[in-house]
Amino acid sequence: MVVSGMPPYDDENIFAKILRGEIPCSKIYEDEFALAFHDIRPQAPVHALVIPKGKYVSFADFGSSAPAEFVHGFNRAIAFVAQKLGLEETGYRLIANMGWNSHQEVPHYHVHILGGRKLGAMLTPSQD
Ligand code: AMP
């Protein structure tokens, strides 16, 4: 689906290549809805990415076009991965960047799971 502010899905994006097994990843978990792996440039002691097994550019695309059962399964996978990483007791942060202002780099919907230390304020002051 085309979402305003985002190009159409690009089959050559890096996460599409990971899903097809063309590029390796440090896998944490996989099921029919999701693949989870460690971020290559971690921003916290624990930094995982969870990506849906489907051609969704962004949160907006996923939320508006994925079947309800898929959305449910994907969200359950995120919670399961956080638990598997041992973050449930101490807490964690989920981030889904969407579009230009959010600094979304990879145009395949993904959710960051960050934890392993106190993460501080949600946003740093603007550098603009
Ligand atoms: P975003 O800015 O929300 O699009 O986040 C994209 C994330 O993907 C960044 O945190 C990158 O470090 C991460 N990333 C890019 N390439 C890879 C890769 N090959 N394996 C794991 N993480 C990656």
Predicted confidence (pLDDT) per residue in 69-120, tens digit: 999 999 999 999 999 999 999 999 999 999 989 999 999 999 999 999 999 9
Q: How far is CA 101 from the centre of its chain?
A: 17
**Using an 8 Å Cβ cutoff, are 52 and 36 in contact?**
no
Q: Residues 10-18: what's their mean pLDDT? A: 98
Q: Locate the domains of the chain by residue range.
A: 14-115
Backbone angles phi, psi at 64, to 5 degrees: -95, -20
- CATH topology classification for 14-115: HIT family, subunit A (3.30.428)
Q: Does 106 contact ligand 1 (Cβ within 6 A)? A: yes
Q: Does 103 contact ligand 1 (Cβ within 6 A)? A: yes
Q: How far does the centroid of ligand 1 lie from the alpha carbon of residue 20, in Å?
A: 16
